[in-house]
Structures are given as structure tokens and as C-alpha cells.
Structure 1
Amino acid sequence: MSGLQKFALLVTVIGALNWGLIGIFQFDVVATLFGAGQQSFGARAIYTLVAIAGLISLSMFFVSERRNYRVVKKDNVRPIRNM
């Protein structure tokens, strides 16, 4: 996972927590932080950032895991000689 993907996942989780607060307590942290509500430029920028982060995080569903395994063939193994 790249640094951009980790950051996007972090922003997505923060956005999900904000949505949880909206759904349970009807309290929007982002709108409260910017004072003017959901229509302020700062709040709209944060909402847009969360949406972009969600799209980046969504792309992680379609990436297969890469594992680096070292394959050692039995034919290439030489016996250890006594010195």
C-alpha cells in the first residue's frame, strides 16, 4: 500500500466517523469547525477531499495482493563441503 493510499484510507475513516456522528447525534464536526455550516468554502473543500479519498480507497478493492516469494529449486542446492 502506497503512502497516498494510506492517507486516503485515513481521510476516508475520518469522513466515515463524521457521517456516523451526523447519523447518530445529528452533529456535523466539519460544519462546526468552519462555523458557517456546510456551505462554507472550507467545509466544502473537506467534503470534496473525503470524496476523492473514498474513490482512491475504492480502487484498493480491485488491486490484487502482491507477495514476493523466493522460489528455490532443489536442483540448485549444493551440498556443504567440509573444510
Structure 2
Amino acid sequence: MNSKGFDYTALTIVIIGAINWGLIGFFNFNLVSFLFGQTGWISRIIYAIVGLCGIYLVSAYGRITDMGHQSV
């Protein structure tokens, strides 16, 4: 998978995580726990993946800044 594809995949996962947090905040409904169980290891893996994708996307700030300084 190329870098751009990985960026889009990570962004999609983080957006899904953000939607889950919105559901928790507005409706006290945790979609991940609903789908995969509240104490299961699968839920922990999903939360870890969302967190890792969020950390990875911090690097997007540097890539976006670099794109603005490229010469034409």
C-alpha cells in the first residue's frame, strides 16, 4: 500500500473513532463495545489501532506544511 493509501486508511479509522466518541458524548452509546463486547480483547485492539492511527496522522501536519513550500 502506498503512502497516500495508508494516509486515507488511517484517516478513515480515526474518523470512525471520532464518530464513536461523538456517540458516547451525545447518546452514551459505545458502538465498539456494542459490536465487539465491553471487556473483550478485540475492543482493546480496535482502540489501540485508532490511537496508533491518530499518532501517525500527527505526521500529516509536517507533510501538509512541506507541500505548501514546494516550488513549481
Q: Tell me if TM exceeds 0.5.
A: yes
Deviations 1:9-58 (A, max 9, x none): 110000000000001101000001013x1x21110010000001101111
Q: Percent of aligned positions with the same letter in both sequences?
A: 36
**TM-score (ref. length: structure 1):** 0.72
Structure with a larger share of its residues in helix: 2
Unaligned runs of 5+ in 1: 70-83
Which runs of no fewer than 5 residues in structure 2 stay unpaired? none
Structure 1 letter corresponding to 2:26: I
Residue 79 of structure 1 corresponds to which residue in structure 2? Answer: none
Return the index of the structure with the highest Cα Rg: 1
TM-score by length of 2: 0.83
Count of equivalent residues: 67
Q: Per the alignment, in what secondary structure is the counterpart of residue 27 of structure 1?
A: coil
What is the match of residue 23 of structure 1?
A: 25
